[in-house]
Amino acid sequence: MRSRAAVVACAMSLASVSMQAQSPPDFSGVYRPVNAFGPPPGGRDGGPPPGARAGGPPAPGQTLPPPTRTAPLSDGSRGRAPNAPKLKPEYMAKWQAISKARVAGDSSSDNTAKCLPPGMPAMMNMAYGMEVMQTKDKITFFSELNDALRRVYLDGRKPTQLVLDDPTYAGFSTGHWEGDTLVVDTVALKDNSYIEGFTPHSDKMTVKERIRFLPNGMLEDRITVTDPVALLEPWETVKTYRKADKGDDQLREFACAEGIDHAK
């Protein structure tokens, strides 16, 4: 009798462990990007020297050297990075035309400067911070930059013809769990956004992501972009985010249209 109770207890315990192993991780929280603009040199130069506190005075005897730039160069004048998406000639010509305009100071190619959402997959740079909200049936990714938002449906729904005929900047995303990894497919993307930087794409672009926690606690998004019209081959990139520290875990409203009066 006693041994039977022990067997039952043991079985229940195993079932509990098994259920825990099957429940997906919770990605909810606020995150900051790690190298949002790619590997160095990609950052800005107006910042404080290493170890200095933002907004504080220079340490006694310390003289800050003048900054050498305000932002990374983003006009393509140094060509395309070796790891940039490989474009077919027609799309390379588009990129070159945009680059020429940007070198001349023309901002018209910059969607975010026009308050448009960055779109997928560029929005996953999450340069100003990201908030993830997760339920059993849906994960919502929010970007402070341009108050951009995307939803990943986990309830088994599929993109309908109506969805496919109605492309958007974030696209239509469905996901499922493979162990601890969230696998996401995104379709129905508008063709006037960029893959990264100002790399153009067609309306045939689709995006696949594998999102998981790394052993060090960071969140990783492995992104594969497929576009048989614009790309010579699928393009892969990896974004990494760290959980925001206490006190830094609050995103601010962006309200881009607030600045519209400046345009008059």
Partner 1 sequence: MRLRVLVLLTALAALPFEVPPAFSHHSNVAFAVETVLLAKGVVKEFRWSNPHTWLYVTVDDGKGNKVEWAMEGRAPGVLLRAGWTPKVVKPGDEVQVYYSPSKDGSKVGMIARVTLPDGRVLPNAPPND
Binding site for partner 1 (CB under 8 A): 43-48, 52-58, 64, 66-75, 102-107, 109-110, 112-115, 128-129, 144-146, 248, 251-256, 258-259, 261-264
Nearer to partner 1, 2 or 252 (CB): 252
Beta strands of the chain (E only): which ranges? 29-34, 130-134, 138-143, 148-153, 172-178, 181-187, 206-213, 219-226, 235-243
Between CA 115 and CA 147 the distance in angstroms is 9
Nearer to partner 1, 228 or 259 (CB): 259
Nearer to partner 1, 38 or 159 (CB): 38
115 neighbors 254 (Cβ within 8 angstroms): no
117 neighbors 148 (Cβ within 8 angstroms): yes
- Minimum CB separation from partner 1 for residue 109, in Å? 8
Please report which helix (H) or strand (E) contains residue 72, including its range.
none
Nearer to partner 1, 21 or 104 (CB): 104
Cβ neighbours for 124, distance < 8 A, ≥ 6 positions apart = 141, 209, 221, 223, 239
- Minimum CB separation from partner 1 for residue 206, in Å? 27
- Minimum CB separation from partner 1 for residue 18, in Å? 41
220 neighbors 214 (Cβ within 8 angstroms): yes
208 neighbors 64 (Cβ within 8 angstroms): no
Nearer to partner 1, 72 or 228 (CB): 72
- Minimum CB separation from partner 1 for residue 180, in Å? 28
Nearer to partner 1, 186 or 193 (CB): 193
Is the previous residue joined to 41 through a cis bond, with omega within 30 degrees of 0? yes
Task: Please say whether the dihedral angle defined by the alpha carbons of residues 178, 129, 50 and 75, taken in this order, is positive or negative.
Answer: positive
- Minimum CB separation from partner 1 for residue 222, in Å? 23
Nearer to partner 1, 12 or 255 (CB): 255
Within 10 A of 261 (CB to CB), how many other CB atoms are there? Answer: 7
Within 10 A of 112 (CB to CB), how many other CB atoms are there? Answer: 18
- Minimum CB separation from partner 1 for residue 39, in Å? 14
- Minimum CB separation from partner 1 for residue 64, in Å? 6
